[in-house]
A and B are shown apart, each in its own frame.
Chain A
Amino acid sequence: MARFLETRSIKLMWLKAWIFCAMLSVTLITVLVTSTSTHGDSSIETTTKRTNGVSQCVEPTDIMRRDHMNFLLHQRDKTVREGIRTKQHSLKGCVDCHVKNNDQGEFIPVNAPEQFCAACHTYTSVKIDCFECHATTPDVALSENKADTDQLAKSLSQSLEGTQSVHEANDQSEIGVWSFSHILADASSSTLD
């Protein structure tokens, strides 16, 4: 009888060990998957070749995450109704910078799965209809027009000059507090998440 009980307790020990191992492996797999997806998210933030070395968005990242829809809402009314075509908060600017290329050098639409716009909007279950009308890729192919890329970088750098003051004054003519190099220096010293 005692021997039987001893055998049973050994079996129980093995069972517990197996359960522990299984749980450990599940935990490990979860951690691995999470780290991979985090890496995926961070790759969204990396700049494309098209941005010509511009590593900072038109506003600080946390502000963009919270308020990009408001920027776009105001910009659209200004552009359509009043013909104000500043580049800083234009949807075209978002697409131009955040679009990525596939291996063939073709643009991948920003609303395609896992791409810049779709990645977050799928995660947060927010459906947007911007791209039922608006173009999801830049008009000009990357390889075709280098001048266009330079123009974009130039306009971005110009618009970046007003990054700080936009929150202080609505008047676009009063911008110009921060210099582009200043922002780039800030950007390099702080993480972009």
Chain B
Amino acid sequence: MSEKMPENQTECAISGEPDRTRRRLFLGAVGGTAMASLGGFHIAELALAKSDSEAVSNLARWGLLIDSAKCATDCDACVSGCNTEHNLEDMGRPETDAQWIRKLDLSDQQTGHVSSLPMMCQHCESPPCVDVCPTGASFKRDDGIVMVDKHTCIGCRYCVMACPYKARSFIHETLSNQKSYSPRGKGTVESCNLCVHRIDEDRQPACVEACNTDGKGAMIFGDLNDMDSDISIASSSKPSRQIREDLGLNTGVRYQNL
């Protein structure tokens, strides 16, 4: 639009007709100003953090970009950061202990090169866990965060089976000492929610914070829809890939140097 406008203006000037385009431009400017003043709050909200009373919107899509080259094999800062944040306690049964994020080492069988990466809910645009949930408890928030509404979860574990990333855990034990911002309980399924309580406060997820402070700074969190965000800039400068991109889920978590 902005590219076409000067061409039109030039044509009008040459033909000598009344410059309607300029008039339209003026009207557009007036209208735009009026719209901006009417919806001023909304414009401000886009730029600033959202208020407590405002619902999330699909204007933002939260995601993670993980640089596998920086992610060290012996580092699990993100895992311990997550466990501390959400109080994921060791129940002494590793097979069924809740695990929102885990470290994976991938070795190239041809060359023997080992890559390390954190694996968690990939926050798909088309999440299979949401498709299979019989109660609607597994859902995608408008800003792209895939999570479980434990009020309506009946613990059927269809989502656990449907997730290609094995990202979901079922709580088998009666829990205590939950954090007030992260309610968890027996009989429900849970997974990484990108620290939704932090995002709503305009803070970074605990794993990213832990990776930056105690780890190697391999994780970038941000708004995938915002072209000026760190994550978008980093994604555009170097190639990144989704895990199991053949499934066409369009994940919100992407990996570089993998």
User: Are A and B a genuine interacting pair, yes or no?
Assistant: yes
Q: Which of A147-193 contact B (CB under 8 A)?
A: 172-173
Q: With A86-B52, A87-B52 in contact, do A138 and B139 touch (Cβ < 8 Å)? A: no
Q: With A84-B54, A84-B55, A87-B52 in contact, do A135 and B180 touch (Cβ < 8 Å)? A: yes
* Interface contact A132-B185, CB-CB below 8 Å: yes
* Interface contact A132-B174, CB-CB below 8 Å: yes
Chain B proximity mask over A123-159: 1 for CB below 8 Å, otherwise 0: 0000000001111001100000000000000000000
Q: Find the residue from A132, A139, A173 having the highest chain B CB count within 10 A.
A: A132
B208 vs chain A, min Cβ distance (A) = 19
Complex CA distance for A142 and B183, rounded to whole angstroms: 21
Contacts of B151 in A (CB 8 A): 76-77, 80
- Any chain B CB within 8 A of the CB of A53? no
* Interface contact A86-B181, CB-CB below 8 Å: no
- Any chain B CB within 8 A of the CB of A121? no
Complex CA distance for A76 and B150, rounded to whole angstroms: 10
* Interface contact B185-A82, CB-CB below 8 Å: no
- Any chain B CB within 8 A of the CB of A3? no
Contacts of B177 in A (CB 8 A): 135
Q: Which residue of the partner chain B has the closest CB to A159? A: B52
Contacts of B53 in A (CB 8 A): 84, 86, 172-173
- Any chain B CB within 8 A of the CB of A92? yes
Classify chain A's interface size.
Answer: 20 to 34
Contacts of A95 in B (CB 8 A): 180
Q: With A133-B188, A172-B53 in contact, do A83 and B143 touch (Cβ < 8 Å)? A: yes
- Any chain A CB within 8 A of the CB of B200? yes
Contacts of B175 in A (CB 8 A): 132-133
Q: Which of B196-235 contact A (CB under 8 A)?
A: 196, 200
- Any chain B CB within 8 A of the CB of A16? no
- Any chain B CB within 8 A of the CB of A49? no
Q: Find the residue from B52, B142, B188 having the highest chain A CB count within 10 A.
A: B52
Chain A proximity mask over B128-159: 1 for CB below 8 Å, otherwise 0: 00000000000101110001011100000000
Complex CA distance for A83 and B183, rounded to whole angstroms: 15
- Any chain A CB within 8 A of the CB of B22? no
The 10 closest A-B pairs by CB, nearest first: A133-B185, A82-B55, A83-B56, A133-B183, A135-B180, A172-B53, A132-B185, A85-B52, A134-B183, A80-B149
* Interface residues in chain A, defined as those with a beta carbon under 8 Å from any beta carbon in chain B: 76-78, 80-87, 92, 95, 132-135, 138-139, 172-173
* Interface residues in chain B, defined as those with a beta carbon under 8 Å from any beta carbon in chain A: 50, 52-56, 139, 141-143, 147, 149-151, 174-175, 177-181, 183-186, 188, 196, 200
6 CB < 8 A contacts A-B = A76-B151, A87-B52, A132-B174, A135-B183, A138-B180, A173-B53
